[in-house]
Amino acid sequence: MKEKKKNFTGIFEDFANKITSWTGSSKAFLLALTSILLWVCTGSIFHYSDTWQLVINTSTTIITFLMVFLIQKAQNKDSLAFHLKLNELIATSAQASNRLISVESLTEDELRILAAYYTTLASETRRRVEIHQSHSIEEAIGKAEDKINQKKRFYMKKQAKPIKTGKKAVQEAVAHSSEVNMNGKLGYNEVNEDVPVNPDQSQKEKAR
């Protein structure tokens, strides 16, 4: 019985999500508008009779009645997911109170006490700090520039040249090492050929 209930719940949940997302689309609105226009155009054919009016009244009532349950099901899931995300932020914040994790289970009087606390906190902050100090345009521009610089650094790292591998890389490394050895034997610096290398240092490199 439990497995059947779970299967039915899952099917109903998927159906509710698909219907609510589709009814909020432009296609659904155009379909509803087209249906209303067709009903209005057929009024002269049926002489605007009671049956003609009963068709639109009955169909809209049935659709509205069923959509109430589907929308409520989708809203319950979205509300639960939203509260879980907020609970995660509260639980991971060191300065936030863990009592707010299950704040929706409190009574109305308790919620009013918490609301009065945060109202007092906001009014005290407003009294001590002016709005242009706590929320200035310069601060917003600085935050925007920080985000842009972070994105630039990310793309620069992403576009960095990869490390060479394969036969060509080995050949280049061998050629470079041979050039260094030749410069060492000749007694000249690798950076500037006019500056001679310390002879003691060249002897140590030969010993190595």
- Give tens-digit pLDDT for 27-57: 999 999 999 999 999 998 988 899 999 999 9
Residues 130 and 38 in one domain: no
Q: Is 201 inside any structural domain? A: yes
Last residue of a domain, one of 49, 82, 103: 103
Question: What is the mean pLDDT of the segment spanning 6-17?
Answer: 83
| DSSP state letter for 101 | T
pLDDT over threshold 50, residue 21 = yes
Residues 97 and 17 in one domain: yes
pLDDT over threshold 80, residue 170 = no
Phi and psi of 135, rounded to 5°? -135, 75
Phi and psi of 112, rounded to 5°? -65, -35
User: What pLDDT shows up at residue 39?
Assistant: 93
pLDDT over threshold 60, residue 190 = no
Please state the domain count of the chain.
Answer: 3
Phi and psi of 65, rounded to 5°? -60, -40
pLDDT over threshold 50, residue 179 = yes
pLDDT over threshold 60, residue 122 = yes
Cβ partners under 8 Å of residue 202, min gap 6? 184, 185, 187
Q: Is 172 inside any structural domain? A: yes
Closest of 96, 74, 77, 76 to residue 87, by C-alpha: 96
More confident of the two residues 95 and 2: 95
User: What pLDDT shows up at residue 160?
Assistant: 67
Contact 26, 20 (CB under 8 A): no
